[in-house]
Amino acid sequence: MSIKRRAVALGLVAVAVAVALSGCTDSANAGSGKIVVVGAENEYSDVAAQIGGKYVDASAIMSNPNTDPHTFEASASVAKELSTAQLVVQNGVGYDDFMAKLEKASPNKDRKVVVAQDVLGLPDDTKNPHLWYDPKTMPAVAEKIAADLGAIQPSHKAYFQSRLAAFNDSMKTWTDALSTFKQSYADTPVAVTEPVADYMLEAAGIDVKTPWSLQAAIMNDTDPSPQDSAAQDALFTGKKIKVFLYNQQVTDSITSHFLKLSHDNDIPVVGVYETMPTGYTYQKWMQAELDALQSAITSGTSTEKL
């Protein structure tokens, strides 16, 4: 994810839609009885929907897995949607700074905002913002969501807590699989384009060979150094890696070059995503990514797209 590029683009858009926000009201909430929840990314809105169940109407601002998140532009309709939200869930760590601008442009003292960064107590200079790939993130975020939903509708607090318990139970499929995977495939060498799935790879015991400086350069939309590019090329041509993890949503000539090297050297590819693919829940998405990684290691199978 190119944080720098998106932060600039969306910052400008947020200013542009501020005028539109001035005419918005909370009237859209009236009558439904459901709590209006907006997630900056669809993985967060999905978890909120799972916790809120029948008492929540959840939507996401960024939800198309077939587009580059960098090209996202907040429209007046997005601004209006956010203005009606009673609960907002966002990532933080600079990943979706546009949310703060939109919220500031549409002040609401009763709106609750869950920021994953704050829930986890992470500093602003956290290097990798892709927090949803960390197995620790969603259980903590879900607990905060349940608490805030219970505060908004106290009569349904027990319902939200029961849904939270079910969510945590469902997460065990993935976290147990991670533990099992680590026992068999720890230290497997892989290459990546940027640190999208690095938190999951770390939990799985995977050895990411791509220099961090190259990952950061691609993430921040700058050119990798010639030394880093040469080191990354050598991982493919020297067959020093077992799998190449490729961000399907953010591609350019540099990442396409690495993808070609992977194909040319018969190194299996696993596609990773920044927003949740269609047809998945958050838990099933994470499990699918891990299953694809295991298939790549054990049978050389590529799963470029989920």
Report pLDDT for 26.
Answer: 42
Q: What single-letter amino acid sits at 175?
A: T
* pTM, rounded to two decimals: 0.89
End-to-end Cα spacing for the chain = 19
Q: What is the pLDDT of residues 38-66, one digit of tens each?
A: 999 999 999 999 999 999 999 999 887 66
At 70, the pLDDT band (50, 70, 90 cuts) reads low
- Report the percentage of the chain scoring pLDDT > 70: 86
pLDDT value at 31 more than 80: no
Our CA angle for 230, 249, 299, nearest 5°, is: 70
CB 89 within 8 A of CB 37: yes
Helices 42-52 and 157-185, packing angle to 10 deg? 130
pLDDT value at 115 more than 60: yes
Q: What is the pLDDT of residues 253-297, one digit of tens each?
A: 999 999 999 999 999 999 999 999 999 999 999 999 999 999 999
- Per the prediction, the chain carries an average pLDDT of 89
pLDDT value at 29 more than 50: no
CA 303 and chain centroid, separation: 19
pLDDT value at 32 more than 60: yes
pLDDT value at 16 more than 60: no
The number of C-alpha atoms within 13 Å of 237 and in the hemisphere containing its C-beta is 7
CB 240 within 8 A of CB 225: no
For 93, 202, 229, 232, 289, the CA distances from 197, given in Å and listed in that order, are 16, 9, 20, 17, 9
pLDDT value at 2 more than 50: no
- The residues with which 115 forms a beta bridge, in sequence order, are 90
> Taking Cα atoms as reference points, which of 80, 94, 153, 166 lies closest to residue 127?
94
pLDDT value at 177 more than 60: yes
CB 202 within 8 A of CB 215: no
- The residues with which 38 forms a beta bridge, in sequence order, are 59, 88
Q: Which CATH number fits domain 35-172: 3.40.605.10, 3.40.50.1980, 2.40.30.20, 3.20.20.70?
A: 3.40.50.1980
- The residues with which 39 forms a beta bridge, in sequence order, are 60, 89
Q: What is the pLDDT of residues 136-176, one digit of tens each?
A: 999 999 999 999 999 999 999 999 999 999 999 999 999 99
Domain boundaries along the sequence of the chain = 35-172, 186-299
The number of C-alpha atoms within 13 Å of 279 and in the hemisphere containing its C-beta is 4
Task: Specify the CATH class of 186-299 in words.
Answer: alpha beta
Report pLDDT for 141.
Answer: 98
| Residues across the chain | 306
